[in-house]
Amino acid sequence: MKKIEKGKPQLFISARQIRKRIDELANQINEDYRDRIPIFIGVLNGAFIFLSDLIREIKINCEIDFMKLSSYGDQKITSGQVKMIKELNCDVKGRDVIIVEDIVDTGLSIKFINKLIKKGKPRSVKIATLLYKTGISKLDFKVDYIGFEIDNKFVVGYGLDFAQKYRNLKDVYVL
Ligand code: 5GP
Protein backbone atom coordinates (compact mmCIF):
# COMPACT_ATOMS: atom_id res chain seq x y z
CA MET A 1 0.00 0.00 0.00
CA LYS A 2 1.27 3.47 -0.91
CA LYS A 3 2.14 5.77 1.95
CA ILE A 4 0.15 9.00 1.98
CA GLU A 5 1.89 12.00 3.46
CA LYS A 6 0.09 13.41 6.48
CA GLY A 7 -0.36 17.07 7.26
CA LYS A 8 -3.29 19.40 7.64
CA PRO A 9 -4.07 21.48 4.56
CA GLN A 10 -3.67 25.23 5.25
CA LEU A 11 -6.05 27.67 3.59
CA PHE A 12 -4.25 29.49 0.78
CA ILE A 13 -6.78 30.96 -1.69
CA SER A 14 -10.41 31.21 -0.60
CA ALA A 15 -13.46 30.25 -2.67
CA ARG A 16 -14.48 33.92 -2.60
CA GLN A 17 -11.13 35.06 -4.04
CA ILE A 18 -11.36 32.36 -6.73
CA ARG A 19 -14.91 33.41 -7.64
CA LYS A 20 -13.87 37.06 -7.99
CA ARG A 21 -10.86 36.23 -10.14
CA ILE A 22 -12.89 33.91 -12.38
CA ASP A 23 -15.36 36.74 -13.03
CA GLU A 24 -12.45 38.95 -14.11
CA LEU A 25 -10.97 36.27 -16.38
CA ALA A 26 -14.37 35.50 -17.92
CA ASN A 27 -15.00 39.20 -18.61
CA GLN A 28 -11.67 39.37 -20.39
CA ILE A 29 -12.42 36.24 -22.44
CA ASN A 30 -15.94 37.50 -23.32
CA GLU A 31 -14.32 40.66 -24.60
CA ASP A 32 -11.42 38.98 -26.45
CA TYR A 33 -13.67 36.46 -28.25
CA ARG A 34 -16.67 38.78 -28.85
CA ASP A 35 -17.15 37.70 -32.47
CA ARG A 36 -15.76 34.18 -32.21
CA ILE A 37 -16.93 30.76 -31.05
CA PRO A 38 -13.95 29.38 -29.10
CA ILE A 39 -13.46 25.77 -28.05
CA PHE A 40 -12.49 25.44 -24.39
CA ILE A 41 -10.30 22.39 -23.89
CA GLY A 42 -10.19 21.30 -20.26
CA VAL A 43 -7.24 19.26 -19.08
CA LEU A 44 -8.54 16.47 -16.84
CA ASN A 45 -8.77 15.79 -14.01
CA GLY A 46 -7.52 18.91 -12.24
CA ALA A 47 -9.20 21.58 -14.40
CA PHE A 48 -12.74 20.22 -14.16
CA ILE A 49 -13.95 22.59 -11.42
CA PHE A 50 -12.13 25.65 -12.75
CA LEU A 51 -13.51 25.02 -16.25
CA SER A 52 -17.06 24.45 -15.03
CA ASP A 53 -17.05 27.68 -13.01
CA LEU A 54 -15.33 29.67 -15.76
CA ILE A 55 -17.61 28.44 -18.52
CA ARG A 56 -20.73 29.53 -16.65
CA GLU A 57 -19.48 33.12 -16.75
CA ILE A 58 -18.87 32.95 -20.51
CA LYS A 59 -21.59 34.86 -22.34
CA ILE A 60 -20.52 34.24 -25.93
CA ASN A 61 -21.19 31.01 -27.84
CA CYS A 62 -18.55 28.40 -27.15
CA GLU A 63 -17.83 24.68 -27.25
CA ILE A 64 -16.13 22.41 -24.74
CA ASP A 65 -13.96 19.34 -25.00
CA PHE A 66 -11.56 17.53 -22.66
CA MET A 67 -8.23 15.81 -22.83
CA LYS A 68 -6.37 13.86 -20.23
CA LEU A 69 -2.67 13.37 -19.63
CA SER A 70 -0.95 10.86 -17.41
CA SER A 71 -0.71 12.13 -13.84
CA TYR A 72 2.10 12.13 -11.33
CA GLY A 73 0.52 9.11 -9.72
CA ASP A 74 0.66 9.54 -5.98
CA GLN A 75 3.89 11.48 -6.09
CA LYS A 76 4.36 15.13 -5.24
CA ILE A 77 7.09 15.47 -7.86
CA THR A 78 6.91 15.32 -11.61
CA SER A 79 7.99 12.15 -13.34
CA GLY A 80 9.19 14.36 -16.21
CA GLN A 81 7.14 12.32 -18.69
CA VAL A 82 3.85 13.27 -20.27
CA LYS A 83 1.54 10.79 -21.92
CA MET A 84 -1.91 11.20 -23.48
CA ILE A 85 -4.65 9.13 -21.85
CA LYS A 86 -7.74 10.71 -23.43
CA GLU A 87 -7.56 12.45 -26.79
CA LEU A 88 -9.76 15.25 -28.08
CA ASN A 89 -13.02 14.44 -29.84
CA CYS A 90 -13.22 17.74 -31.71
CA ASP A 91 -11.46 19.01 -34.82
CA VAL A 92 -9.52 22.17 -33.94
CA LYS A 93 -8.66 23.08 -37.55
CA GLY A 94 -9.37 26.77 -38.14
CA ARG A 95 -10.84 27.15 -34.63
CA ASP A 96 -10.00 29.41 -31.71
CA VAL A 97 -8.83 27.17 -28.89
CA ILE A 98 -8.55 28.06 -25.21
CA ILE A 99 -6.68 25.39 -23.24
CA VAL A 100 -7.84 25.34 -19.62
CA GLU A 101 -5.37 24.02 -17.03
CA ASP A 102 -5.58 23.82 -13.25
CA ILE A 103 -1.95 24.69 -12.62
CA VAL A 104 1.24 25.28 -14.59
CA ASP A 105 4.18 23.98 -12.57
CA THR A 106 7.23 22.94 -14.62
CA GLY A 107 5.28 23.72 -17.78
CA LEU A 108 5.93 20.26 -19.20
CA SER A 109 2.24 19.39 -19.60
CA ILE A 110 1.19 22.68 -21.16
CA LYS A 111 4.14 22.56 -23.58
CA PHE A 112 3.05 19.07 -24.66
CA ILE A 113 -0.60 20.10 -25.05
CA ASN A 114 0.19 23.36 -26.84
CA LYS A 115 2.38 21.55 -29.37
CA LEU A 116 -0.21 18.86 -29.92
CA ILE A 117 -3.10 21.30 -30.42
CA LYS A 118 -1.05 23.38 -32.85
CA LYS A 119 -0.52 20.29 -35.01
CA GLY A 120 -4.27 20.39 -35.63
CA LYS A 121 -3.87 23.82 -37.31
CA PRO A 122 -6.20 25.91 -35.15
CA ARG A 123 -6.80 29.58 -36.01
CA SER A 124 -5.50 30.58 -32.57
CA VAL A 125 -4.49 29.01 -29.26
CA LYS A 126 -4.60 30.70 -25.87
CA ILE A 127 -4.02 29.25 -22.43
CA ALA A 128 -5.98 29.79 -19.24
CA THR A 129 -4.73 28.45 -15.93
CA LEU A 130 -6.08 28.93 -12.44
CA LEU A 131 -2.60 28.82 -10.90
CA TYR A 132 0.84 29.56 -12.25
CA LYS A 133 4.01 28.75 -10.32
CA THR A 134 6.15 31.78 -11.04
CA GLY A 135 9.83 31.15 -11.48
CA ILE A 136 9.45 27.42 -11.99
CA SER A 137 8.14 27.01 -15.50
CA LYS A 138 10.36 27.98 -18.39
CA LEU A 139 7.93 28.46 -21.22
CA ASP A 140 8.77 29.90 -24.61
CA PHE A 141 5.15 31.03 -25.08
CA LYS A 142 2.70 33.16 -23.17
CA VAL A 143 0.09 31.99 -20.69
CA ASP A 144 -2.74 34.36 -21.54
CA TYR A 145 -5.18 34.08 -18.64
CA ILE A 146 -3.67 33.46 -15.20
CA GLY A 147 -5.86 33.23 -12.11
CA PHE A 148 -3.14 33.50 -9.46
CA GLU A 149 0.65 33.45 -9.59
CA ILE A 150 2.02 31.41 -6.69
CA ASP A 151 5.40 30.37 -5.27
CA ASN A 152 6.68 26.85 -5.32
CA LYS A 153 4.08 25.31 -3.00
CA PHE A 154 2.17 22.07 -3.38
CA VAL A 155 -1.50 23.02 -3.42
CA VAL A 156 -4.72 21.00 -3.26
CA GLY A 157 -8.44 21.65 -3.48
CA TYR A 158 -10.73 23.17 -6.10
CA GLY A 159 -10.02 20.27 -8.45
CA LEU A 160 -6.38 19.76 -7.45
CA ASP A 161 -5.51 16.52 -5.71
CA PHE A 162 -2.92 14.77 -3.67
CA ALA A 163 -3.18 11.00 -4.24
CA GLN A 164 -6.66 11.67 -5.73
CA LYS A 165 -7.89 13.30 -2.53
CA TYR A 166 -8.90 16.91 -1.73
CA ARG A 167 -10.32 17.71 -5.20
CA ASN A 168 -13.70 18.42 -3.61
CA LEU A 169 -12.47 21.25 -1.35
CA LYS A 170 -14.00 24.62 -2.23
CA ASP A 171 -10.84 26.62 -1.52
CA VAL A 172 -7.19 26.06 -2.45
CA TYR A 173 -4.96 24.80 0.37
CA VAL A 174 -1.23 24.25 0.83
CA LEU A 175 -0.34 20.78 2.00
P1 5GP B 1 3.63 20.57 -15.01
O2 5GP B 1 3.63 19.68 -16.21
O3 5GP B 1 3.40 22.04 -15.36
O4 5GP B 1 4.83 20.38 -14.14
O5 5GP B 1 2.46 20.11 -14.09
C6 5GP B 1 1.13 20.12 -14.50
C7 5GP B 1 0.27 19.19 -13.71
O8 5GP B 1 0.90 18.71 -12.52
C9 5GP B 1 -0.97 19.92 -13.24
O10 5GP B 1 -1.97 19.89 -14.23
C11 5GP B 1 -1.31 19.18 -11.96
O12 5GP B 1 -2.12 18.07 -12.26
C13 5GP B 1 0.03 18.70 -11.42
N14 5GP B 1 0.56 19.64 -10.40
C15 5GP B 1 1.59 20.49 -10.53
N16 5GP B 1 1.77 21.21 -9.41
C17 5GP B 1 0.80 20.82 -8.57
C18 5GP B 1 0.43 21.22 -7.24
O19 5GP B 1 1.00 22.11 -6.58
N20 5GP B 1 -0.66 20.58 -6.71
C21 5GP B 1 -1.34 19.60 -7.36
N22 5GP B 1 -2.35 19.05 -6.72
N23 5GP B 1 -1.03 19.21 -8.60
C24 5GP B 1 0.04 19.82 -9.19
Whole-number Å distance between alpha carbons of 142 and 160: 23
| Cβ neighbour number for residue 95 with a 10 Å cutoff | 19
Q: What is the pTM of this model?
A: 0.91
pLDDT at 20 over 90: yes
3-state secondary structure 112-159: HHHHHHHHCCCCEEEEEEEEEECCCCCCCCCCCEEEEEECCCCEEECC
Confidence of residue 80 (pLDDT cuts 50, 70, 90): low
| Domain segments of the chain as ranges | 15-153
CATH code for residues 15-153: 3.40.50.2020
CA of 154 to the centre of ligand 1 (A): 8
Q: What is the mean pLDDT of residues 27-42?
A: 97
Whole-number Å distance between alpha carbons of 13 and 173: 7
pLDDT tens digits along 104-141:
999 989 999 999 999 999 999 999 999 999 877 778 88
Ligand 1 nearest atom to the CA of residue 166, by list position: 22
Task: Pick the catalytic residue from 65, 105, 140, 171.
Answer: 105
CA of 104 to the centre of ligand 1 (A): 6
pLDDT for the residue 16: 98
92: buried, middle or exposed (CB in 10 Å: 19+, 13-18, 0-12)? buried
Whole-number Å distance between alpha carbons of 30 and 171: 25
Name which residue sits closest to atom 4 of ligand 1, judged by CA. 106
Q: Ligand 1 within 6 A of 169 CB?
A: no
